[in-house]
């Protein structure tokens, strides 16, 4: 049985990752592709507990190193218990955020060194990398407006605007560094137009 493909969805606050996840899942299923949807941080019972700790805005101050290690601890569990077995089984994995988010939030947002992140990436993931990453990109103010309308702000969403500008820049830098894997989708357009761009990119990938 051929190994499944690993697709990740990335982007800053409120750009529409969750909204478009179901659309992509349905599109793949229409093409008879078995697909399993998951998210980071999270995806296993323990990783979801770590997610809760990471997002808790009433938490004690979490140091940059602790945050980075928590993200990778959750990822290690997720890879071992969900992502790898699913891909090995021939099922595709569609994941809401993965390591590009670490380069964006802990690297761009928190100024952690990319070389440190890369070291942990190699340690925890071995050779595992996404086959395709869809990066939804929109001006920070638009995403934050949308996120505010949707729910109470979590620990990350309570950051200042400069943090999100750095996150966006780091995401776009990742896309420049990995142009074959990461495809940038304009997220500040009507949902139908975002969906059409997604169909284009995923259609090309399937071919």
Q: What is the CA radius of gyration of the chain?
A: 16
Alpha helices (runs of H) in 34-154, residue ranges in sequence order: 45-55, 64-78, 84-88, 99-102, 114-125, 140-150
Residue 15 binds ligand Z5A (CB under 6 A): yes
Nearer to ligand Z5A, 28 or 96 (CB): 96
Tell the smallest beta-carbon distance from residue 154 to ligand Z5A (Å): 5
Nearer to ligand Z5A, 34 or 56 (CB): 56
Cα–Cα distance between 78 and 26 in angstroms, integer? 23
Near ligand Z5A in 87-126, by CB under 6 A: 96-97, 101-102, 105-106
- Return the exposure string of 107-119: e unless at least 16 CB atoms fall within 10 Å of the residue's CB, then b: bbbbebebeebee
Cα–Cα distance between 16 and 10 in angstroms, integer? 9
Q: Token pair for residue 111?
A: 């100024």
Q: Token pair for residue 179?
A: 């142009």
Q: Token pair for residue 184?
A: 């940038």
Residue 144 binds ligand Z5A (CB under 6 A): no
Tell the smallest beta-carbon distance from residue 97 to ligand Z5A (Å): 4
Contact residue for ligand Z5A among 5, 8, 11, 117 (CB under 6 A): 11
Contact residue for ligand Z5A among 19, 91, 114, 116 (CB under 6 A): 19
Considering all CA atoms of the chain, what is the largest pairwise distance in Å, rounded to the nearest integer? 49
Tell the smallest beta-carbon distance from residue 207 to ligand Z5A (Å): 26
Nearer to ligand Z5A, 3 or 155 (CB): 155
Residue 129 binds ligand Z5A (CB under 6 A): no
- Residues binding ligand Z5A (CB under 6 A): 11, 13-19, 40-41, 71, 96-97, 101-102, 105-106, 146-147, 149-150, 154, 156-157, 191, 194
């Amino acid at each position: 049985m051929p190994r499944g493909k690993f697709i990740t969805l990335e982007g800053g606050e409120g750009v529409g990752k969750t909204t478009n996840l179901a659309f992509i899942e349905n599109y793949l299923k229409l093409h008879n592709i078995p697909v399993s949807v998951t998210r980071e941080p999270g995806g296993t019972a323990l990783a979801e507990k770590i997610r809760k700790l990471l997002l808790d805005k009433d938490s004690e101050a979490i140091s940059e190193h602790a945050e980075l290690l928590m993200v990778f601890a959750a990822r290690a569990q997720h890879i071992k218990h969900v992502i790898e077995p699913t891909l090995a089984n021939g099922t595709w994995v569609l994941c809401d955020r993965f390591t590009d988010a670490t380069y964006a939030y802990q690297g761009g947002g928190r100024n952690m060194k990319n070389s440190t992140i890369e070291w942990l990436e190699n340690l925890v993931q071995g050779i595992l990398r996404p086959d395709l990453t869809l990066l939804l990109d929109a001006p920070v103010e638009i995403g934050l407006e949308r996120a505010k309308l949707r729910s109470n702000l979590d620990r990350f969403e309570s950051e200042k605007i400069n943090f999100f500008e750095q996150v966006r820049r780091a995401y776009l830098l990742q896309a420049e560094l990995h142009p074959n894997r990461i495809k940038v989708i304009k997220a500040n357009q009507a949902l139908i137009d975002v969906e059409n761009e997604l169909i284009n990119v995923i259609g090309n990938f399937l071919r």
